[in-house]
Amino acid sequence: MKGEERRNFKFFNFLYEEEDFMHRFLRKNRHIIVWIVVFAFVVGGGLFGYGAYISNRNYVAQQKRQAIAVVNKEPISALEFYQRLRAASQYLMGLPSDQLLVYKYQILNSLIDKTLLLQQAEKEKIKVKVTEEDVDKYIEGILAQNEMTEDELKEALKNNNITMADWRKDIKAYLKEEKTIDALIEKVTSDITVTDEEIIEEYERVRVSRIFISKKEDGNSGKIKAEEALAKIKEGVDFAEVAKNFSEAVDAQTGGDVGFISHAGYRLGKLLTEKAFALEVGQVSDIIETDSGYHILKVTERKDAEGEEFEAQKEEIKERLLNIKKAQAQSKWFQEIKNEAKIEINYPHLAGYKALIEEDYENAVKYFEEAVSEAPENEAYYSFLAQAYKGMNNNEKAITALEKAIEIAPDDWELYLNMGQIYKDLKNKEKAIEYFKKASEHAGDKRWAHTRLKTIFTEMNESELAEAEQTIINEIAQKEMEEAKKLKEKQMTEQTDEENTEESSNN
């Protein structure tokens, strides 16, 4: 991979890291990611003037009209928003309009989160210092991560009419925000601790086998069958053999072996997990009734918190639990701040998307109606408007909105899929199948799309249509394998040619 391609690839990964600003600050490698985006801003001219923008955070009145959003009376400049988009423009050009809208909202949401964090830092009187040495180290990181020389960096700056002195000021302002938020998060989570009991609970494991029998419609036969299974075990019949003959769980044919489980209860649920940890090795439980049916458990192995292995892992477990608890506390703390904040989004399509994901369908309809009036040729706005109407159970208007979207973008397979889903929900099987077929016709070589349609047709008991989708899936898979084979052969040929060339030059 060439240097420029490598830089673009790394930056493309960053785009989706932006989705959750808070999580970004928890990642150990976040500074590497920021180096890359700073580089992208440099070559795109996006970071220039960043420090000047930050240093004038109080110019609310004159900026409010140009603000894309206002957070607790503080504007988020449309300029800053579009600078971020500009830095990623070459990667966004091929995105469908609905995905582009989602990405725009993620960018805006990250800016809103950042603004809230900096506002909170100001309330907490957080003060940080960024030195020239910090800036030097940051620039060194940019050069290393992007495989650039200092001269190449200076040339990139020069091509964008940016002086090194001005750029250093911008990096300094950027780093100040980073350090401020880091210090705030550290303060918020400084009192989080991990107890010895939590470490023990995290380490302990038990290996469990089970027998599961579901509740039956007659009300009693399931319990009777469970009692019969338990009686067999008490008579001395091997637990695994009884599981094979009686259990309805997916692991029945392996003797009911679930494997090792933790106190977290992800595998069996809280109740069954507690019952399992109360058993000794070789001990079988009584019948345990849950909403789903009847369970019999047996513990076959235990991994208790003792011995050299436990002692060797204690600190690692403690650190892992501490990070988890801090992340949970931080997330809860920030969500409370965000819930109390007054956030106004001035662009209707972004305000509409926010309302839609928050299931505020009435406002989503309001904003997307405004959006389609401003941009009547944007099919994504009609598609999201349809989702909002569907959320309000107004299927008639949802269908009308999707019809308009299809009129604008007749090759978008997902629009037909969404229309088919509405008719499926309305129990209009004929119309649903009609649109699902159209979705298949327009899905092209998107294997996952045909997989989704196969699942839908299977659910509808349309076996022939499901088989047809499977045929398409197989054809696409075969084509992908052939293309991969050709690519591999090409790479091997190129490698051989390079080796021959190198050998000839050496001779």
Region at 162 (left for phi over 0; alpha for psi -120 to 50; beta for the rest):
beta
- Alpha carbon of residue 24 to chain centroid: 12
H-run or E-run covering 74: strand 74-77
Handedness of CA 39, 95, 53, 48 (dihedral sign): positive
Collapsing DSSP to helix, strand or coil, 166 comes out as helix
**Rounded Cα distance, 341 and 118, in Å:** 13
Report, in this order, helix, strand and coil percent for the chain, each rounded to 5.
70, 10, 25
Percent of the chain with pLDDT over 70: 86
Q: Which amino acid is at 339?
A: N
**Rounded Cα distance, 427 and 430, in Å:** 9
At 506 the pLDDT is 64
Region at 379 (left for phi over 0; alpha for psi -120 to 50; beta for the rest):
alpha
At 496 the pLDDT is 77
Question: What residue ranges do the domains of the chain occupy?
Answer: 3-188, 205-303, 410-495
Residues 6+ apart with CB under 8 A from 408: 377, 378, 379, 382
Exposed / middle / buried, residue 177 (Cβ in 10 Å: 0-12, 13-18, 19+): middle
CATH of region 205-303: 3.10.50.40
At 321 the pLDDT is 96
At 62 the pLDDT is 40
First to last CA, the chain: 28
Collapsing DSSP to helix, strand or coil, 259 comes out as strand
Residues 6+ apart with CB under 8 A from 174: 34, 38, 47, 50, 51
DSSP state of 281: T
* Sheet architecture: strand order including 343-345: 74-77, 67-71, 343-345
On the question of a common fold for 3-188 and 410-495, the answer reads no
Fold of the domain built from segment(s) 410-495: 1.25.40
- 40 vs 87, 152, 156, 178, 321, CA distance in Å? 6, 14, 10, 18, 36
At 221 the pLDDT is 86
Fold of the domain built from segment(s) 3-188: Triger factor/SurA peptide-binding fold (1.10.4030)
In sequence order, what DSSP letters do the residues of 96-146 get, joined into one string? Answer: -HHHHHHHHHHHHHHHHHHHHHHHHHHHTT------HHHHHHHHHHHHHHT
**Rounded Cα distance, 408 and 405, in Å:** 5
pLDDT in tens, 125-167: 999 999 999 999 999 988 888 888 989 888 888 887 888 898 8
**Rounded Cα distance, 264 and 231, in Å:** 31
DSSP β-bridge partners for residue 301: 207
Cβ–Cβ under 8 Å, residues 405 and 412? yes
State pTM to two decimals.
0.73
DSSP state of 292: S
DSSP β-bridge partners for residue 284: 298
| Positions of the chain with pLDDT lower than 50, given as ranges | 1-65
